[in-house]
Chains A and B, each alone.
Chain A
Amino acid sequence: MSVLLDVADLHVHFTLRRGLFGQEKVIVRAVNGVSFMLQPGETLGIVGESGSGKSTLGRALLRLVPATSGNMRLDGREITKLRGRMLEFRRDVQVVFQDPYSSLNPAMVVADIIGEPLTLHHGMRGAARDARVGDLLEQVGLGRHQLERYPSEFSGGQRQRLAIARALASEPRVIVCDEAVSALDVSTQSQVINLLEDLQAQTRVAYLFIAHDLAVVRHISHRTGVMYLGRMMELGPTERLFEAPAHPYTRKLLDAVPVLDPAVQKRRKAARRNLPVVELPTPTRLPAGCVFHTRCPHVMDVCRHEVPEPVPVQGGGWVACHLQSSGPKLAGRPLDALG
């Protein structure tokens, strides 16, 4: 299998200045040593709560925020240290943002919004450009004769199609979908998810699909990574990860998603009652050892001091959890083996 994108030990830290004269520095470790690979035509889902660093990961990959350390390689080329306009890199890596309202310039017409990358990367202008924009509009399921319209004349779902058309224009190899369907209504959301899948089948584009909605990620992703406070806790084939999670945090996330069967949901609800409420840690004050230990039901002494190393899991993927090597020594078995 060829590797399209290889991210190794990526760190993205921000420095906040506090106090009257900015004398007090606080370092926010938004992404804290994340590694993964992405293959052509693959969708890698990234899930996690707000503050997990999943959006920062996407922005670092798009080179919208600088990486503090670590490496990102696209087709073997180092992309972490590129400078200037990085045209070649920009052609290969594109984005679809969450908010279809603020991601399209309200002062530009469709032809210019989607045509911009065509001009920049392929030198297309005039009628040739407009013809290609028309093709792209048809490819995303919009009529081709809307070139002179403004974004405000389109609905939310249609705008997200426009954003997808813009991302496709340069014929990229990777598209970062940062909560790309989260702002859409249910019926529109399913249309856009199907469109993304169709386009992947046609073009073999790879998606880094960042979302907080686990059901959507489960549907669209081949593999899924779970992030918490800047770290990747578990990564593996989607079905294995959702069916047999190996990390207590993955389990916690999955249990929190309500299912559509009220009887089943009532049982789950009864089982989870009376858990204590804890204040969540923030990326400015990370817990020592395993970052999840303050919320973990299986916490052991070692978890408070040592950062767990990744361990391969039966059925594919890996997990970073001390349960695998200390205490019950799961040694690659899923969490269910605890009984």
Chain B
Amino acid sequence: MSRAATGVAAEDTNAQAPLTGFARTWRAFLQHRLAVIAAGYLLVLACVAIFGQALLVHDPLAVDLARTFEAPSAEHWLGTDHLGRSTLGRLVVATSVAMQAACLGVGIAIVLGAPLGLLSGYFGGWWDRIGMRLVEAIVALPALLVPIAILAILGPSLTNAMIALGIANSTAFFRLMRGAALEVREELYVDAARVSGSGNVRIVFRHVLPNVTGPLIVQTTLAFSYVLLAEAGLSFIGLGVQPPESSWGVMLATAQRYVQQQPFLAVPPGLMIMFTVLAFNLLGDGVRDALSRAGGVVRAASNPGRVPGAGATRASAAAGSVATATVGEQPASGPSVPQALLSVTGLEIRFRGARGGELAVVSDVSFDVPAGRTIGLVGESGCGKSVTAMSILGLLGDSGRIAAGSIRLAGQELVGLPESALNGIRGASIGMIFQEPMTSLNPAYTVGNQIAEVLVRHAGLGRAAAAARAVELLDHVGIPGARQRAACYPHEFSGGMAQRAMIAMAIACEPKLLIADEPTTALDVTIQEQVLDLLSGLQEQNGMSILLITHDLGVVADMCDEAVVMYAGNVVEQGRVDDVLLDPRHPYTAGLLASMPQNLPQNRPQSRPRHHDRSGRLTQIPGRVPPAWAWPAGCRFHPRCPYATEVCRQAVPQMVAADDRRIACVRAGEIDPVAGWRA
């Protein structure tokens, strides 16, 4: 027990000052200035509606035929109407009426629509089908026709108008809550609650409802603006509030009738309607943004290295665009052509943080990828390996940039190249494959089409030639029945076949370098084996280099010639793959290897590498990879390292080369990096 407890002691220190979900949302909302102003305006309006009439000097119903159609004056701030009544007074009364009416209408809509939608979505089945058909029938009619029909039956009055609007509007709440409930119903935590013994009532109220309140609030603000407009419209045509009662719609109707005598009459109610509806809409936008942003902050904070929206950028970039440059043909300026195909030196990548400021997520990373070799970039998530790969492709998104260092492909500097030049390199000189082949393929086009598209753009082939070549490529990557499969859409492919198709697309233009980011992580072991064999086979045939990003050291052992181990944005160890995996010199590499359960025989200890202790318990590296904003001073691994001394807490370790190996550890040479993990 005590061991398990010590395991996370270090983790806890990383936690920030706790911020509840509500506080986070509130903070995000306050940043939305327009929404805050709108909320303030609506608050003032509510006060006017409640207390305004008590403060009025002039009775809004008092007729004074001597003073009709007056312009604004010191006594009547907004003038008077055709009966000499104070426009200000009538406006205050109208505001109160509008607010009450809107509350009534929206209230009915929520009470009627939300619970039914929630139950319909959660339970599904026959009730859901009947409910949905009913809703569809109502929605199929023009929006104002339903209230007008209901009013024709019930007779014109404000209350009837609001009941009618409430019923018409309840469909929006029904559909919203049904959709949300359908989504939440599939969440694992609902299954977990059921396994805990929760009944349906408890699940609906405790687990589903709190997770749909956000969209509910947004929909409510929008419903307010709709009901206000509809109330004004119905009163304007005489179906809502009846004169002499006041309402924005009635006031507008009056203004229309006497527009010749006093055009100003239309201005106060018109502005009121406009501002109020606008305010509700802005408030809705603000709440929506705050809810999504609060969620976003959480994700960004727990996962600093992730590139926002990278999936989309990757996919679109992988599809390639107009080739404007050919790479490699240009003579290298400056130094002579280097041996390495790809040479990364002193790379530093910075991202704009969620709370402003810039954060280096990768620093001082250097490695070479020689022609025809496979280099493995290894590490746990949050170590910066994917970001490094993305930076080679120039795909850091809007918030990231290369702050220092150089990336040379066959002698050509890629850092600082314009987007158009990078477009010509991506998909042509550098091919890419990613973890999720399904999300990288466009579901709207056939697989053959997508491969042909790359060939048309980058290799300048004609349509027919490109289509024929696409079939050849699919056949080449081992897809059975390539001609038929080329006409299939991505969803008709299994995961393994889709990854083969991605590989076909990546090698279509015979790239010199293939970047593979966790290419087999989503696949079963038997399929992983086939995909790795395919990559090795292609490499033997066309001599391309592969930069393989993976967390799986077994895949590294299978594929790679060299391994580059990253931790917290730095390279900690690199060397030939046999050396790194069998005789790790950096404590992190050794700890990582020792903490992996291995598929090796228990009763033949001599066949196992020295670092693998099979006494029953797995070696634990305490804590976890810290997020980029919490990287410690000195060696970034020192809080988790059993060898850490005072030196490690202060000195930043430099990369030191020794017999084909490069290690960044202050204590390298004086420690046995394997033995310490056994203690």
Contact A138 B196 (CB under 8 A): no
A94: contacting residue among B12, B195, B206, CB under 8 A: B195
Residues in B neighbouring A259, C-beta threshold 8 A: 554, 557, 598-600
Docked Cα-Cα span, A170 to B593, in Å, equals 36
Contact of B193 among A102, A116, A275 (CB under 8 A): A116
B205 CB, nearest partner CB in chain A, Å: 12
* Interface flag for A191 (CB, 8 Å): yes
Contacts of B136 in A (CB 8 A): none
- Complex partner residue of A198 from B3, B19, B194, CB under 8 angstroms: B3
A155 to B196, CA, bound (A): 23
Is there contact, CB below 8 Å, between B11 and A155? Answer: yes
A277 close to chain B: CB less than 8 A: yes
Closest chain B CB from A185 CB (angstroms): 4
Decide yes or no whether B346 CB sits under 8 A from chain A. no
A138 in contact with B8 (CB, 8 Å): no
List residues of A (129-177) whose CB comes within 8 Å of B's CBs.
138-143, 148-150, 152-155, 157-158, 161, 163, 166, 169-170
CA distance A261 to B577 in the complex (A): 9
B298 to A: closest C-beta gap in Å: 4
| B256 is an interface residue with CB less than 8 A from chain A | no
Encoded as 1 (CB less than 8 Å from any A CB) or 0, chain B from 206 to 230 comes to: 1100110000000000000000000
Whether, in the assembled complex, B530 has its beta carbon less than 8 Å from a beta carbon of chain A, the answer is yes
Interface flags for B4-43 (1: CB within 8 Å of A; 0: not) read 1111100110111011110000000000000000000000
Q: Is the CB of B598 within 8 A of A121?
A: no
Give per-residue flags for A103-130: 1 if the beta carbon is below 8 A from chain B beta carbons, else 0.
1111110001000110011000000000
Which chain A residues lie closer than 8 Å to B188 at the CB level?
97, 99, 102-103
A34: interface (CB < 8 Å)? no
Per-residue interface assignment for chain B, residues 519 to 551, with 1 indicating a CB less than 8 Å from any chain A CB and 0 otherwise: 000001111111011001100000000000001
Q: How far is the CA of A234 from the CA of B187 in the complex (A)?
A: 33
Tell whether B617 is near chain A: CB-to-CB under 8 Å.
yes
Q: When the two chains form the complex, which single residue of A141, A153, A243, A273 contacts B4, counting CB atoms closer than 8 Å?
A: A141
B596 lies within 8 A of chain A by Cβ: yes
Whole-angstrom CA separation of A155 from B624 in the bound complex = 9
* A166 → chain B closest CB, angstroms: 7
Interface string of A244-273 (1 = CB under 8 A from B): 000000001111111111110100010011
Q: A49-B524, A148-B18, A214-B525 are in contact. Are A277 and B478 (CB under 8 A)?
A: yes
Is B557 a contact of A279 with CB atoms below 8 Å?
A: no
Q: Could you say which residues of chain A place their CB within 8 Å of the CB of B206? A: 108, 112, 116
Known contacts A50-B524, A258-B558; is-contact A163 B192 (Cβ 8 Å): yes
* B210 (CB) vs chain A CBs: closest residue: A107
Query: Shortest beta-carbon distance, A139 to chain B, in Å?
Result: 7
B65 within 8 A of A: no
Q: How far is the CB of B474 from chain A (nearest CB, A)?
A: 12
Please give me the residue from chain B that is nearest to A87 by CB atom: B197
Inter-chain contact B617/A120, CB cutoff 8 Å: no
In whole angstroms, what is the CA distance A267 to B68 when docked? Answer: 102
Residue A193, interface by CB 8 Å: yes
> Does A23 sit within 8 A of B, measured CB to CB?
no
> Is A1 on the interface with B (CB-CB < 8 A)?
no
A269 with B578, Cβ < 8 A, contacts A105-B207, A256-B525 known: no
Give A198 to B188 CA distance when docked, in angstroms.
26
What residues of chain A have their CB less than 8 Å away from a CB belonging to chain B? 49-50, 62, 64, 85-87, 90-91, 93-95, 97, 99, 102-108, 112, 116-117, 120-121, 138-143, 148-150, 152-155, 157-158, 161, 163, 166, 169-170, 185-191, 193-195, 197-198, 202, 212-216, 218-220, 239, 242-243, 252-263, 265, 269, 272-273, 275, 277-280
Q: Which residues of B contact A (CB under 8 A)?
A: 1, 3-8, 11-12, 14-16, 18-21, 187-189, 191-199, 206-207, 210-211, 298, 302, 380-381, 478-480, 494-497, 524-530, 532-533, 536-537, 551-555, 557-558, 560, 577-578, 581-582, 591-593, 595-603, 609, 612, 616-622, 624-625
